[in-house]
Amino acid sequence: MNVLVVGSGGREHALCWAIASSSLVDKLYCAPGNGGMAAVAYCVDIDTMDFAGIEGLCRSEAIDFVVIGPEAPLVGGLVDHLRAAGINAFGPDRRAAVLEGSKGFTKDFCVRHGIPTARYLRVDAAAAAKAYIDAEGAPIVVKADGLAAGKGVVVANTLAEAHEAVDDMLGGRFGAAGAELVIEERMVGEEASLMALVDGEVALLLAGAQDHKAVGEGDIGPNTGGMGAYSPAPVLGEGESAEVMERIIMPTVAGMAAEGRPFRGLLYAGLMMTAAGPQLIEFNVRFGDPECQAVLPRLRSDIVPALLATCDGQLSHFDLRWRDEACVCVVAAARGYPGAYEQGSVIDNLGPASELPGVTIFHAGTAARNGKIIAAGGRVLGVAALGADIGGARQRAYEAIDVIDWPEGFCRRDIAWRAIARTR
């Protein structure tokens, strides 16, 4: 079959990398792709929100199956568009994708279905938001309701920081996505991520992972789209994963079906592992980025049948096999990210770095120009490595990072520090 992956980031490169190895795939396309994906897919310069253009590509290249990576086209209804055109697509439709498209919807949904999550208020006026913040006290979390590329969350340690976040978001920083806010208590615990394939009724868990959202070492500084991830996550053992399945994943699957929004696709639960058990921070309706880059290298099974089974409602007859090795993915970003950063710098020595044992380099924000790979985004590379354990995988990932010649980039040097600390 011919397969199209929609997207241009590290997550989509990892998906292309996994899909390309399937015996079911004849030709693999990516739209629009990036500077590193050409090694595994035919890249076509079509924007992820150009639904008519994507449909046209599917018809001209006889695409049998479309896998949608980013959240914006999912929330915008690309799956609905393609299915109406008779094209099979992996991902939730618009009505189900609201789980990521509106944080307020998800919080209310959790209340309706008894899913554990933080206490909160939905609000669209600054005065009411600030009054609630003053009554609750700091630290407190301020979130833009809609899609904000992973940057619409402020964990405010003071009332002044929280008020500033309210003014910033309601003042238009994120456009319509910030027209409404969710103000919620700051939960205490360790964050983790659990992803599941969901076919409307059945959920199949993937390997657990833990990411690092803050830009600075020690998990300090502003949030980013993710500076690194690792799998497995020691905080998510078999017991904890079973509890997340029972208290969060399955009630969500059942609740969405009961509300006429059956979920078919990849459901990502961002979790806080608290003293009272796991609580939901947020849902995403697609593979996590960079968690995807840390999880897929551990997958022994062919991913394509699993994706097809998800679309066809056949997950009850399906299982996945995983490698025993751990995987650590370190993100290399342009200096200045998540603030202002320059583009166009040349990245050298990617070939030698990728030839190190167990190492795979996923391109996120790159472009190919005159035979060179250049930086074309904030998060630019995801350097993933397999190892016998988290420590060994991390060592290999940083060995590869040190081979890459890119003075204009930076990375955190402490990815997986929580897992390493548990072994000491």
190-317 and 326-422 have identical folds: no
Fold assignment, 119-185: Dna Ligase; domain 1 (3.30.1490)
Q: Is the pLDDT of residue 310 over 90?
A: yes
pLDDT(169) > 80: yes
Which residues, in sequence order, are CB contacts of 184 under 8 Å at separation 6+? 107, 117, 118, 119, 120, 121, 140, 141, 143
Among candidate residues 321, 325, 360, 365, the one with its CA nearest the CA of residue 341:
365
Contacts of 97 (CB under 8 A, 6+ apart): 71, 74, 75, 77, 79, 91, 285
User: How far, in Å, CA of 262 to CA of 109, rounded?
Assistant: 14
CATH of domain 326-422: 3.90.600.10
How far apart are the C-alpha atoms of 371 and 363, rounded to whole Å?
16
8-state DSSP, 209? B
Mean pLDDT, residues 285-307: 97
pLDDT at 424: 67
Q: Which CATH superfamily is domain 190-317 in?
A: ATP-grasp fold, B domain (3.30.470.20)
% of the chain exceeding 70 in pLDDT: 100
Which CATH number is correct for 2-93, 3.30.465.10, 3.40.50.20, 3.40.630.10, 3.90.1720.10? Answer: 3.40.50.20
Where are the domains positioned within the chain?
A: 2-93, 119-185, 190-317, 326-422
pTM of the model: 0.95
What pLDDT band is residue 6 in, cutting at 50, 70 and 90?
Answer: very high
pLDDT given at position 194: 97
pLDDT tens by residue, 316-328: 989 999 999 999 9
**Identity of the amino acid at 98:** V
Model confidence over 223-250: pLDDT tens digits? Answer: 888 999 999 999 999 999 999 999 999 9
pLDDT for 337 = 96
Tell me the average pLDDT of the chain. Answer: 96
